[in-house]
Each structure stands twice: as C-alpha cells, then as structure tokens.
Structure 1
Amino acid sequence: MISAMVRGAVLCAALLLVSACGGGADPATSPPQAAGTPSGTAASDAASPAGDVKTSENVRLVTNVPRAAPLNGENDWNTDLAFQGDYAFVGNFGGFSIYDISDPTAPKTVSQVSCPAQQNDVSVHGDLLILSIDEPRSDEKCSSTAGRRAWEGLRIFDISDKKSPKFVSAVRTDCGSHTHTMVPKGDTLYVYVSSPGPEPDSATCPPPHQVIQVVEIPVRDPESAKLVARPDIFPDRQKDTGGCHDVTAYPEKNLAAAACFGDGVLLDITDPVKPKVLQQIRDEENFQIWHSATFNNDATKVVFGDELGGGMMPTCNSQTPATKGANAIYDIVDGKLERRGYFKISREQEQSENCVAHNGSLIPVKGKDIMVQAWYQGGVSVWDFTDSSAPKEIGYFERGPFEREGIAGSWSAYYYNGYIYSSDIQKGLDVIAIDDPLTDPAEQVEMADFNVQTQRAY
C-alpha cells in the first residue's frame, strides 16, 4: 500500500518521481493552436520487433495521430481521454488536445492548448472541460510555473468554441487533483477530487487530508465554482494514509466505487455531497495500489485494478503472479462485494516494458460484461468477464518495446461509437477496431458523450 508520506513520488499512476517527468523548462504558455498469445486469441504476427504493432487476428490498428507541437516535448505525456459528439479530448502533461473524430479513420486536430501540469486528466460536460492538476504550481493560470509551490487543484475551461477553448476558473484542492469524477445534478455539476496525501510541511498538501473532496460547479456560472465538502468517509483509517486514486460514479444507480490506494470502497452517493460507505474491502495479499474501478452495466459487478509498481515496473512477466498488477472481479450480492476472480494479460512483456492494469471501459454489449483496457507497454486488451470467475481475453493490440528508456504505452483505452481509442503516452492517439461476434453488437449503441469515471447505462 502506498504511503501518503511519499506524495512527492506520486505521479501519473501514484508512484512516479516528480523529477522523472516534471523536470526541465516549462513549455511556453500560448493560446490554443490549431494544429505470448493467451488462450482464445491468435496473433497476426509471429514476432514483435521494437516499435512494430502486434495484434490478435480480430483486431487492427486503424490509424495513429502522433503528438504534435506544442504538446510533443520529452515530458509531454499523453494521459486520459474524454469524448463528446464528434470530438475526442486528450489530456497531456503539456495541456490538452481536441480532435475531430467524425471520421474515425482520419482524426483531425481542432485545437491544442498549452497549459502545463501533472497530470491533466480530462473530462467534459456540456461546454465545460475540467483538468486535474496534481503538481504544485505558482498559481492557477496556464502561465504558471512549477518552481513556486503555491497552488494545485482543478482548472475549468469553456469549450463552446472547440477551435478556441478559454480558461474560465480554477478551484484549489488539498494535495491537488490526481483524478476527478463528475456527478451531474440538474444545473449543478459535483466533482469528486481524488488525490494522495498528506505531505507534511507542504503548502498545498498539509495534514490532515480527507480521501475525497467535493467541488461544486454551477453549469451556468462556472466562474463561481468552489470546494463545498471534505467528507470524512474513513474516520477510523490509518492517519498516515489518505486519498483515493480513482472514484467511478454511477449516478443512475446512486452508487460509486472508489479505489483508495489500499482499499476498495462501495459508496452510496444519493446525496453527492455526503457519500456514505456501504463497504470497505482489502486484498493485502494481491493488491498494492487500488487504482481504478468499473461497474458492469447492471451495477451487479465491480472490476478493481491493481497498479502494482505505480506504472513504472514490468509486472507482466513470469516473475509476477497473475493475481498481482491485475484486475479483481467482484460481484455485488445483497449490496456487498464478493470477489470471484482475477484477470491479467498472459502475454509476457520484456523487462524494459512497464506493464500493469490501467484505465479501461465497458464495451456496450447487451447481456455481456466486456471491457477494453490499457496496460501501458502491454498494449490494449479486450476481455470478457461475463463469468466473473473465469474471465478471458477476446483480442489485443500492442507495440514492441519503446525505442528509448522510459515510461511508454497505452495510458487509457476506451470504446466509443464503434472504435477503441487509446491514448499512448509517447506515440499519440491510436484508433483501433475489433471485429468479433462477441463485440460486434456494440456497434449499434450510439453514445452522445463519454467520461469514463461517470458511468451511464446503455
């Protein structure tokens, strides 16, 4: 379990040193600019030379959009994804990009906003875009620097004009925002802020630190956004630990599942400002960092992911057990979580390849529980957990080892309107297609938007 005393080492996936990817000169602030095969799958290539693509027979790479200036510096890593209509929004340590994906085979850059900070996870709601800032900056503006440690939290942008997003406001939160989760209620958008901490002697992350903070954003007046609650949902927790990595809300079910580093938590969010713990679970034998959570469509299951090693380590190898750095599938029985099984990709990765369970989403197939998921340099996996105790892989996409030493691979992989979109840390935006009888029915489901941590029934 990660110690909150090492928040300075928490980056991207909770354990990266700040100096590893936040160092060097800050990008200049600028206005937006236009600019081994597992059972059940078959490889289309016998080998995977460095940088080459390898897929199962039912998966193909449709296209790749490389990172481009001003968001293609050495430390400008691609992060999370969100979608709205014909647009994809890609977070990046240097800011964020907006792509026109009306033709998924040929995405076009609409705008890029230079607004540097770790980690710039992104979500969209109506005309608003929200970024998570998990790095002390000199102030809330995009022109801030990392030298003076005075502010971190949420940045809010107006994206009514996709070609020219505008900074609207910001909300300071204790220990910043590693990730965030939207819970819409009428004209009010509540945002759960997840961040590790506390950090003694820190100006932005002093103790005590609650695991969740709630920000209220009036949709019609986002300039007045403010922090409204710090619910203490773990009053008996260890005092040297705090924070969640991800919270996934399912507002239609009044439920949320929180991955709080050492704990998995099921929450009642009937009152979004006052979430209540329904159950708190641990798996100390297998899970190191409870990283993320995904409900199935019926909210009768939760998949929790373990980010063993914080995304830096090569855990997809024969030296690491199949239950570590993996997914755990829990059924919800009489309102309680009961563990049924584990899933981890079985293709062994090289020692130079960081690989572990990371961000993914459901593929909307009626009567089936199917996910697509990023595994860093382990690539993208599509897997079926309809039988919670016997999950199986359906298909995959991956590249060979990154040509330089360092962190690489798919940060997030989500399904949206017929295609899989993968945000590759180094390579940019990948568009991937899967052609399989199990997943083909998903092509009939049309989504108006998609934010992975705010689930909707399909």
Structure 2
Amino acid sequence: MPRRSALLTAITAVVLAMGVPAWACGDAPAFGTAPESGHAHSAGTPKASKSSAAKNVELLGTLPEAQGAISINFLQYSRPHRDVMIVAGEFGLKSYDITADPAKPRLLSEISMPGMWEMEDTEVDPERKLIFLARDPRAFGGTTATGKSGVYIVDAADPAKLDTITFVEIPAGHTTSCVNDCRYLWTGGPAKASHMPADWGGRPVWVTDVRDPRNPKVYPNPIDTARNDGKTDYAHDVQVDADGVAWVSGRGGVRGYWTEGLRFDPVQRKLRRATAVDPVPFAGGGISELSATSKFLHNSYRPVGRRTLDGPDVGAWGYGQTVFATEENFADGCAADGVLVISSLKGSYGGEGWRSTPENPYRLNTIGTWSVAGQEGSDPDNGNCSAHYFDVRGKVLAQSFYGQGTRFLDISDPSRPRQVGYFRPADGLSWQPLWHRGLLFVADNVRGVDILRFTGGK
C-alpha cells in the first residue's frame, strides 16, 4: 500500500502542476469549467481515499506493472491450449498467460505505445485472433480538433509475439467495436474535429470492413446520425447483445440496430436487408433527464434470456424488454454523478427514438437506477464516482465507479438493484470489470489489474 499510495501522490503532484486531470479521457476539463463538446472521465484533481473498503470480495492478485490499464479481453487457444488475457492501456498492449492460474498472470508479449490515449473498450476477434485498438485523436499529443484517429489491427495468432498488422485512419477513434463476428468495426467518438459540420455535437459511427485485416475499407458515410433529438452527436460505444442487436450509446441515449438479416424497418416502414453498413433500427431512444441529467450514455447491455459462458443472463425479466446503460457524468460531489439506468424498451419498437425532436422528445421509461453516492463502502471525500463500464454474470452485475471502486449489484429485480458487495482500494481508479472463469478482472488505471473473487453468492 505505501508504494502505491506514493505513486498516486506523485501522479497528483503532476496533475496539480499541469492543471488537468491525470486520467481525463473525455473532452471536458475538471468540473467547474465549461466543458468542450464531449464527455468527462474525471471530476477534478485525483484524491486518494483515506482507507480501503471491501465486502464479499477476495483480492487474489494485482498486476502493478499494468498501471494505466483501461481495457481487458480474453482469447482462448487450442494448439497448445492457452487462456490468454489481453490488457490495453496508456502503455500500449500486453498479453498474459492465465492458463495454469488465472490469479497469477504471466507476461507473454507487449507492444509499447507511449502517448496513446486510453484505447477504451479494445475489441478482439476470438476466431481470427485479432485485436482492434482505437486511436483517439488526442493520442501522441493530438487534439480532438486536428488529431489523427483510427484503429490499429494487431495479430495475436501467437500471443507470445503480438504483431501490429496495420493502422487504418478513420474519422472517429475513441472506441471501436466488432459487429457481424468482427467482419466489420463500428468506431465512434470523441468530440468533433474542426473540419466536421458545425451543428454536430460529437462524432457519430463510421463503419470499417475488416474482412481482409491487412486491407481495411472505411465507408465514407457515418451511421447513427441524428441521435440526440434529431442532432448528430457523440456516439461513444457499441455493445452487441446475444440476439445480434448492436446497441450504440452516447449523448442522446441508446439505440439498437439489426446488422444482418431481412428485418422490418420501423422508420422506413418496410422490410429490407440489414447490413453493418446500412443497419435497420430496432428499438431504444433517449433516457429521461430525471434519471440521467447529462443525457450522455457511456455503454449498455440488453439481456435476452440466453445462457452465457458465466450462466444465464437476466433476460427472463421482461424477455429482453430492458436495457441497462451507464450515464457518465461528473458534478461537484457524488450526488449528481453518473448512474446506472435500467429502462424498458416497450413503446420504442416503432422507430420513436429516431423521430425524437426537441419539440416532441421521446424518452424510454425508466425502471430503476443505482448510484454509488451514499452507499455502503463509499468514500464521501472522493469525488470520482461516475458510473462506467460493467459486466454481468447470472444475476450479479459488477460495475466500475472510478475512485469509488468496483460494485457488485444483485439485479434479480432490475427495478430494485441491490448492492451485495464492493471492492474499493484506497489507491484505485476502477475503469472496467470483466468476468472470466468465475473471477472478476478489473482494469484499474492506477493499480493495474486486480483479480477478484466475489464471495457473496449469485
């Protein structure tokens, strides 16, 4: 603990000297100043908690050499059998063998990329063993106005010899996500570049054909436009559910699209073929301002009642009629910070979310919300408590809340999420949790990677 606390103190000193948050990955400076068009990942100068707190959680191991970690993925290999963890962050990319003991990862290979900006929600192709790394325009000293953005494609066929295949320049690059079994990428965010239309509030989604990963093809026309009551705005991230619906979260809400098959288009009011380049609207829309004041949805999840590797999801409640989404928002104090919002999709299947306007807004009906503010295990002196990425195993949702750590919620009744465990280290900054082999791996931007066992049952 003393060494890590010293590290955080050093980071804080640098931040104070620079006048900006050490881990701000959005587009706003510290709270209390007028934000640039985009979203904020920090609520000011980082402050270490006075003490750690944990309940129903066992810490099995930590990888401090992965400090700066942002995103985690896993790849499985058959010849020879290997279970490999992929960690992306401000350092670049690292691969670890966790076959023998997932609590004791062994470094296999790394690609050093000092100066990269986050690489949030790094994606992997489990079949072709490819890794897709988003390059935000702020990487390597760039800016949202003029910086270069796109995607690096890395060959991980041999996890001990990671190899960058190519870089493809794309008009967006905060996050990139696989659709249609990683044959296409949807890349979005952050704030708009100086050459983009003046009435845009942020970057929408661009589609890239990566069927030939050495020769990717970027389509010129973006999708998921007019997402914020008719205004083209910041599309932050994409999650694909078990039915194959791609959900785009960002400013203005969360909207789902079919990307394959013959589907009924509720906006055009006709049957047509859905593709990754020309998707068909499915459902979704804006979130009530009473539930998420900033209107900025960071990521989402629609349970559909299918069995996953870690057990059945919670789709039986409403038979796929709910969507979970996190609001990322920072205010002065925790009370108004971003929350987990659970909404009903009923009433949104007729294209309502695509016809919403400021004069006639459409909003999903909120079922339930959950905020870390005032919850057991929270530190009232730490203002970094916005909701961030989450992952679901069975009836337990594990979610990162930055300086307020990783929270475990029982979502058996989505209208009443209930905290059943937490892990909040005094020197931590939790960004992304991911269930794997019954354990929870947490990308912590300060600590590296924490490996946890939830002991509170399912």
Name the TM-score, length of structure 2 as normaliser: 0.71
Task: Give the Cα separation in 2 of the matches to 1:150 and 1:133.
Answer: 10
Task: Give the Cα separation in 1 of the matches to 2:389 and 2:280.
Answer: 25
Task: Give the Cα separation in 2 of the matches to 1:135 and 1:197.
Answer: 9
Equivalent residue for 1:123? 123
8 Å CA contact retained: 2:236, 2:250: yes
Equivalent residue for 2:176? 180
8 Å CA contact retained: 1:67, 1:426: no
Distance 1:279 1:259, change over 3 A: same
Residue from 242, 245, 250 that aligns with 2:236: 245
Task: Give the Cα separation in 2 of the matches to 1:177 and 1:150.
Answer: 10
Deviations 1:74-115 (A, max 9, x none): xxx221111112111111112011111221121111122112
Shift of 1:280: 1.9
Task: Give the Cα separation in 2 of the matches to 1:357 and 1:145.
Answer: 27
Deviations 1:101-139 (A, max 9, x none): 2211211111221123112232211321110111256xx
Task: Give the Cα separation in 1 of the matches to 2:173 and 2:322.
Answer: 27
Task: Give the Cα separation in 1 of the matches to 2:190 and 2:147.
Answer: 17
Residue from 165, 169, 173 that aligns with 2:166: 169
Deviations 1:231-262 (A, max 9, x none): 44334857875221111112x41312221223
Equivalent residue for 1:395? 421
8 Å CA contact retained: 1:61, 1:432: yes
SS state of the match for residue 345, structure 2?
strand
Task: Give the Cα separation in 1 of the matches to 2:407 and 2:205.
Answer: 30
Deviations 1:126-156 (A, max 9, x none): 321110111256xxxxxx7759955211111
Distance 1:164 1:195, change over 3 A: same
Task: Give the Cα separation in 2 of the matches to 1:145 and 1:158.
Answer: 26
SS state of the match for residue 256, structure 2?
strand
Shift of 1:16: 4.7
Q: How does 1:59-98 map to 2 (within 5 A)?
A: 59-67=57-65, 77-85=68-76, 86-98=83-95
Residue from 396, 409, 428 that aligns with 2:429: 409
Task: Give the Cα separation in 2 of the matches to 1:192 and 1:413.
Answer: 22
Equivalent residue for 1:110? 108
Shift of 1:423: 0.6
Distance 1:198 1:431, change over 3 A: same
Distance 1:434 1:241, change over 3 A: same
Residue from 188, 191, 194 that aligns with 1:197: 191
Task: Give the Cα separation in 2 of the matches to 1:383 and 1:227.
Answer: 39
Q: How does 1:255-274 map to 2 (within 5 A)?
A: 255-270=245-260, 271-274=275-278
Equivalent residue for 1:101? 98
Task: Give the Cα separation in 1 of the matches to 2:280 and 2:203.
Answer: 14
Q: Which amino acid aligns with 1:91?
A: A
Distance 1:230 1:210, change over 3 A: farther
Shift of 1:162: 1.4
Residue from 424, 440, 457 that aligns with 1:420: 440
Equivalent residue for 1:327? 340
Task: Give the Cα separation in 2 of the matches to 1:92 and 1:210.
Answer: 22
Bigger shift: 257-266 or 155-164? Answer: 257-266
8 Å CA contact retained: 1:421, 1:430: yes
Distance 1:119 1:256, change over 3 A: same
Task: Give the Cα separation in 2 of the matches to 1:51 and 1:61.
Answer: 19
Q: Which amino acid aligns with 2:322?
A: K
Q: Which amino acid aligns with 1:331?
A: S
Matched, 1:300 2:321: yes
User: Cα RMSD (Å) of the superposition?
Assistant: 3.1
Percent identical pairs in the alignment equals: 21
Equivalent residue for 2:297? 290
8 Å CA contact retained: 1:325, 1:356: yes
Q: How does 1:17-96 map to 2 (within 5 A)?
A: 17=29, 50=49, 53-56=52-55, 58-67=56-65, 77-85=68-76, 86-96=83-93
User: How many residues matched?
Assistant: 361
Shift of 1:412: 0.4
8 Å CA contact retained: 2:188, 2:205: yes
Equivalent residue for 1:356? 386
Q: Which amino acid aligns with 1:194?
A: G
8 Å CA contact retained: 1:55, 1:395: yes
Shift of 1:430: 0.3
Residue from 265, 275, 285 that aligns with 2:279: 275
Q: Which amino acid aligns with 1:165?
A: L
Name the TM-score, length of structure 1 as normaliser: 0.71
Deviations 1:39-80 (A, max 9, x none): xxxxxxxxxx95754211x21111111025xxx5xxxx2211
Matched, 1:383 2:409: yes
Equivalent residue for 2:43? none
Q: Which amino acid aligns with 2:418?
A: K
8 Å CA contact retained: 1:99, 1:107: yes
Task: Give the Cα separation in 2 of the matches to 1:201 and 1:257.
Answer: 27
Task: Give the Cα separation in 2 of the matches to 1:350 and 1:421.
Answer: 25
Distance 1:135 1:374, change over 3 A: same
Task: Give the Cα separation in 2 of the matches to 1:297 and 1:170.
Answer: 35
SS state of the match for residue 119, structure 1?
coil
8 Å CA contact retained: 2:227, 2:251: no
Task: Give the Cα separation in 1 of the matches to 2:279 and 2:250.
Answer: 14
Q: Which amino acid aligns with 1:83?
A: F
Deviations 1:20-49 (A, max 9, x none): xxxxxxxxxxxxxxxxxxxxxxxxxxxxx9
Shift of 1:192: 0.8
Q: Unpaired segments of 5 or more residues in structure 2? A: 1-19, 31-47, 77-82, 261-274, 306-319, 350-363
Equivalent residue for 2:137? 135
Q: Unpaired segments of 5 or more residues in structure 1? A: 1-7, 19-48, 138-143, 403-407, 439-458
Equivalent residue for 1:29? none
Distance 1:184 1:201, change over 3 A: closer
Q: Which amino acid aligns with 2:154?
A: F
